[in-house]
Structure 1
């Protein structure tokens, strides 16, 4: 079974101004990520507007990513469904489209209790042979895959990785104490990556890597080498922008940041709308300051 490590950007789904898929822009952005050293890509995450796409569009995104990656890095797909039946069906479909792994959300239609949460992940893992990353974000989805829940999943070999996004930095150490190296543990919060790396995470699912892939890979690699003083220099430059990754409008914020940094389309699908007024000005000011400071960075 796969052992994932390194920086895995949660890839934004590029769209035209009339809300249609922009596959050439998507493929170009994935190529840019790979050229700048990421270790994998995750398409159709929440940041990729998974819930706003129909099945034909999801297939097009996965196939485009797999074609672009061409075996250089693994291509994971987000799996976000409301029922176990649909989740199992789509897990099989995504495997047939070429995905090499799944990042699985909790049920979006119901806040499962711990017993139900364990059964949800067991049921999905049983549907394919693909390795599974658990997307644990109780802040957004109200379901926490706790250490006790993970105890119920130890004997499910397809579950190999946890995207840790509780915001409680202590959880990383708690998981290592309980499970050793049974699961890969990925930081899922951009503005906790240095802190999480100090505690031993093996990977990072990152939104802002879409914007600054080389810099994010450098931060991660410096931390992996325990060169934390050097990592902090870059981290302090980009952390105000990293805070944008924790906002409810992270899709709009990160797409606008991509647009400002390298000209990618900022368009989203309704109900998300383009940023305007003071909110847009704040994001632009934050990102442009990081652009300027990175240009002057001597590291």
Structure 2
């Protein structure tokens, strides 16, 4: 599939049953809500997808199910997070054979590779497949910073096309665009910085809270891109307390709990993560419910979303 790294790409949660099996019925419900809101692509097996806890068989089930569900309407992206170059190449080739449309690629896991090793890792994985690749740059959580100088060394890898920028430094969007133009598409990877990143020229948003609030996420994206500043600010200011859930080490538990409240997901997580309990659960539930109560009614109007989306599609 030919596609652009542009728009809202949910890092979709993996849904589990109470007895720790894949819950494809609930996964389908969540994905359907995303599609109805107008997402532009879907990322399987990211941090929010609890990738490190999934078996290869479960990943294959999710890939096949998602590809059948989206039926070619949007790209299906698989996250690759492996500790060795050999394992990452094997996973990438396997995903390509299963028909995914692209890859999101993390630096080597566990070992803190230096710049030369990281560049070589990306280069070897990229050369092993024909799939378009988005590099996941998240030095806060994964310790390795992929610098502009490193991206300069990857220029000849034509299928490395985009960057999920989770550096927490919104100026990095401008820095990359100033240096490389449109060679690398920049997608915001931190929910709280999505508005600023899109205004600075990012082409998309890899979303977390979209798992619970797809309508509101797509509305914010399209209002920003259609230059409806006042409405975009109102959505952003309402949304920010929820978006901050994406910054926590427990973002999986928090976002899944939010999706359970909005009715398009379940709160079950896979060990070693544990469900929220006690005061912590009460605090997060109160935050979510207060936000839902305070949401302006106009934001729920799908016609406003459709009109804003129509404007951005013309650009």
TM-score tier after normalising by the smaller chain length: over 0.9
What's the offset of the Cα at 1:252? 0.5
How does 1:71-82 map onto structure 2 within 5 Å?
71-82=72-83
Instruction: Could you tell me which runs of 5 or more consecutive residues in structure 1 were left unpaired when the two chains were aligned.
Output: none
Could you tell me which residue of structure 1 aligns to residue 121 of structure 2? Answer: 120
- Is 1:224–2:225 an aligned residue pair? yes
What's the offset of the Cα at 1:229? 2.0
Q: Is the 8 A contact 1:3 1:160 kept in 2?
A: no
What's the offset of the Cα at 1:25? 1.4
Q: Deviations over 1:48-73 (max 9, x none)?
A: 00000111011111111111111111
Could you tell me which residue of structure 1 aligns to residue 203 of structure 2? Answer: 202
Could you tell me which residue of structure 2 aligns to residue 246 of structure 1? Answer: 247
Q: Aligned partners of 2:152, 2:7: CA distance in 1, in Å?
A: 25
Could you tell me which residue of structure 1 aligns to residue 172 of structure 2? Answer: 171
Q: Is the 8 A contact 1:211 1:261 kept in 2?
A: yes
- Is 1:55–2:56 an aligned residue pair? yes
Q: Aligned partners of 2:120, 2:207: CA distance in 1, in Å?
A: 27
Q: Aligned residue pairs: how many?
A: 299
The TM-score with structure 2 as length reference comes to 0.92
Q: Is the 8 A contact 1:186 1:202 kept in 2?
A: yes
Q: Deviations over 1:70-101 (max 9, x none)?
A: 11110101111100101000101111222100
Q: Secondary structure at the match of 2:48?
A: helix
Q: Is the 8 A contact 1:83 1:109 kept in 2?
A: no
Q: Secondary structure at the match of 2:169?
A: coil
Instruction: Could you tell me which runs of 5 or more consecutive residues in structure 2 were left unpaired when the two chains were aligned.
Output: 305-315
Q: Is the 8 A contact 2:30 2:264 kept in 1?
A: no
Q: Deviations over 1:172-219 (max 9, x none)?
A: 100000000101100000000111111011000000011111111110
Could you tell me which residue of structure 1 aligns to residue 162 of structure 2? Answer: 161
Q: Deviations over 1:111-145 (max 9, x none)?
A: 11111111111111111111001011100000011
Q: Is the 8 A contact 1:194 1:228 kept in 2?
A: no
Cα RMSD for the two superposed structures: 1.2
